[in-house]
Amino acid sequence: MPKKGFLITYTLIHTIHIFSVFIYGGFLFIDILFLSKMQQGLSGDEYAKAREAIMVHVRKVVPYALMVAVASGLYMFTQIFGKIENNTLSYFQTLLSIKAFFGLWLGVRGINQKLFKINPWVFKSHFFPFSLVVIIILLSQFMYL
Ligand code: HEM
């Protein structure tokens, strides 16, 4: 039975992970499902203005939520990955590794954009990170089967 102190720390970090993922992924869902649809009722100029009015606030919060998600995820990964037996990854370890890989990919991409202003492709929409988040959420649930 793990020590109570560890359980409290783990639960706290897990909760932080869920909230940060909620903020980061939540924005992507809102953007893909609703914000991009504003184009249907607004002119190009109006849409650009309306979007920018939202994005000034998004930029202050969402990239940092992604960094918190990656940091908390890395901590949990080191705690629950477990030993590799017989040189083979278990089902859980395999799915967790794929999930962590995609999460880190998003993290590296986000940190590059936010802190180093490196933007290898001009990202036209958030469809790619949105798709990865959907896959990551599915993996985070099915890894426990
Ligand atoms: C944007 C990126 C990420 C998203 C959207 C995401 C999403 C999630 C979600 C939805 C859960 C399930 C929480 C639950 O059901 O209680 C989870 C758990 C987890 N995540 Fe992430 N995650 C991300 C990044 C990462 C990274 C980079 C790592 C590790 C390097 C990581 C490691 C973990 C671990 C180990 C768990 C299992 C926690 C547990 O059940 O005790 N995550 N993540």
pLDDT one-digit tens code per residue, 18-56: 999 999 999 999 999 999 999 999 999 999 999 999 999
d(Cα 32, Cα 25) in Å, to the nearest integer?
11
What's the 127 CA to ligand 1 centre distance in angstroms?
20
| Residue 92 CB contacts under 8 Å (≥ 6 apart), including other chains | 82, 143, 144
| Residue 2 CB contacts under 8 Å (≥ 6 apart), including other chains | 10
Tell me, what amino acid is at 127?
Answer: F
Closest Cα to atom 10, ligand 1: which residue?
A: 137
Copy the structure tokens of residue 92.
Answer: 């859980």
Percent of the chain, pLDDT > 90? Answer: 88
Assess whether pLDDT exceeds 70 at residue 121: no
Nearest ligand 1 atom to alpha carbon 137: 10
pTM of the model: 0.93
Tell me, what's the pLDDT at 15?
A: 98
DSSP string over 7-18: HHHHHHHHHHHH
